[in-house]
Amino acid sequence: MIAVVQRVKRAAVRVDGEVVGRTGPGVVVLLGVLAVDGESEARGLAERIASFRMFADADGRMNRAAAEVGAGVLVVSQFTLAADGRKGRRPSFDRAAPPAQAEPLYLLFAARLSELGLPVETGRFGASMEVELVGDGPVTFVLTS
């Protein structure tokens, strides 16, 4: 799995103009599921993100995790993160999990974050989505399972 994790002041995802998920202060996770991924990768990456220290402590240092500060999480599926653009001018998506494999893992990932006490909202798997966010920092990380 590949996750682009961005700390935000607020974010929303829309499908056909309708807001289907939003968060206030917290993080947006753009999640790409690879064909080699399974349940252990989904759970493990969710646990890593929940405990990843990307929020400031009283001294302004990144020493606090999303779970500690009660950050909201907006999870958006993004299969293009699995793209391989090393050859030619068109990306290959051969590494991406097919939808029948990716969707349950995406949902498991979001459910695990919720089990860890984070308020979680999601986009709509497979839909064409508009993601709007106001970055905080900016603070952005690329994490893999």
The single residue of 80, 101, 109, 122 carrying the catalytic annotation is 80
Cα separation of 33 and 40, whole Å? 12
The single residue of 78, 109, 141, 144 carrying the catalytic annotation is 78
Specify the DSSP class assigned to residue 87.
S
Within 10 angstroms of residue 51's Cβ, the number of other Cβ atoms is 12
The single residue of 6, 23, 55, 79 carrying the catalytic annotation is 79
The H or E element that residue 63 is part of is strand 62-65
Catalytic residue flag (residue 6): no
Catalytic residue flag (residue 144): no
Catalytic residue flag (residue 80): yes
Cα separation of 77 and 99, whole Å? 11
Which residues are designated catalytic? 78-80
